[in-house]
Amino acid sequence: MTDSEFAWLCEFLRKRSGLALSAEKRYLAEGRLGAVCRRHALPDLGTLVRRLMAGDPRLETATIEAMTTNETLFFRDACPFNHVRDVVLPALQSARRAERVLRIWCAGASSGQEPYSIAMLIDEFRPILPGWRFDILATDISGEMVERGRSGLYSQFEVQRGLPIRLLLKHFARQGDRWRLSDRIRQMVTFKTHNLLDPCQHFGQFDLILCRNLLIYLDRPTKGAVLEALHRQMRPDGFLMLGATETAHGVSDLFDADPDRRGLHRSSKAAARAVSGEKVMRPVAVSSAPVRTRPAALEPVQRPPLRLVTQKTANG
Ligand SMILES: C[S@@+](CC[C@H](N)C(=O)[O-])C[C@H]1O[C@@H](n2cnc3c(N)ncnc32)[C@H](O)[C@@H]1O
Is 218 part of a structural domain of the chain?
A: yes
User: From ligand 1's centre to the CA of 234, what distance in Å?
Assistant: 19
Is the per-residue pLDDT at 290 higher than 60?
no
What per-residue confidence (pLDDT) applies to 51? 96
User: From ligand 1's centre to the CA of 141, what distance in Å?
Assistant: 7
User: From ligand 1's centre to the CA of 295, what distance in Å?
Assistant: 27
Residue 18 CB less than 6 A away from ligand 1: yes
What per-residue confidence (pLDDT) applies to 275? 65
Cα–Cα distances (Å) from 5 to 27, 39, 54, 98, 108, in that order, read 14, 20, 13, 57, 28
Q: What is the pTM of this model?
A: 0.87
Atom of ligand 1 nearest to the CA of 211: 6
Q: Which pairs count as long-range contacts for 267-271, CB under 8 Å and 24+ apart, including other chains?
A: 267/231, 267/234, 267/236, 267/237, 267/238, 267/297, 268/295, 269/295, 269/296, 271/231
Is 246 part of a structural domain of the chain?
A: yes
Residue 248 Cα to chain centre, angstroms: 14
What per-residue confidence (pLDDT) applies to 272? 76
Instruction: Tell whether 32 and 123 lie within a shared domain.
Output: no
Q: How many domains does the chain have?
A: 2
112 — pLDDT class (breaks 50, 70, 90)? very high
Active-site residue, 140 included: yes
Is 73 part of a structural domain of the chain?
A: no
307 — pLDDT class (breaks 50, 70, 90)? very low
The string of pLDDT tens digits covering residues 128-158 is 899 999 999 999 999 999 999 999 999 999 9
What per-residue confidence (pLDDT) applies to 23? 87
Instruction: Tell whether 37 and 90 lie within a shared domain.
Output: no
Q: Which of 63, 25, 21 is nearest to 42 (CA)?
A: 63
What per-residue confidence (pLDDT) applies to 214? 97
What average pLDDT does the segment 88-97 reach? 95
Active-site residue, 256 included: no
24 — pLDDT class (breaks 50, 70, 90)? confident
What per-residue confidence (pLDDT) applies to 315? 37
Instruction: Tell whether 95 and 216 lie within a shared domain.
Output: yes
Please give the span between the terminal C-alpha atoms of the chain, in angstroms, as a whole number.
40
Instruction: Tell whether 17 and 38 lie within a shared domain.
Output: yes
Look up the CATH number of the domain holding residue 43.
Answer: 1.10.155.10
What per-residue confidence (pLDDT) applies to 242? 98
Instruction: Tell whether 227 and 86 lie within a shared domain.
Output: yes
Question: By residue range, what is the domain housing residue 38?
Answer: 3-67
**Residue 105 DSSP symbol:** E
Question: Of 22, 42, 67, which residue constitutes the final position of a domain?
Answer: 67
297 — pLDDT class (breaks 50, 70, 90)? very low
Question: Which residue among 141, 145, 163, 313 has the greatest number of ligand 1 atoms within 8 angstroms of its CB, and so is best to mutate?
Answer: 141
271 — pLDDT class (breaks 50, 70, 90)? confident
Instruction: Tell whether 155 and 124 lie within a shared domain.
Output: yes
Considering the candidates 140, 207, 253, 258, report the single residue annotated as catalytic.
140
Q: How many CB atoms lie within 10 A of CB 244?
A: 16
Cα–Cα distances (Å) from 219 to 20, 37, 215, in that order, read 5, 27, 8
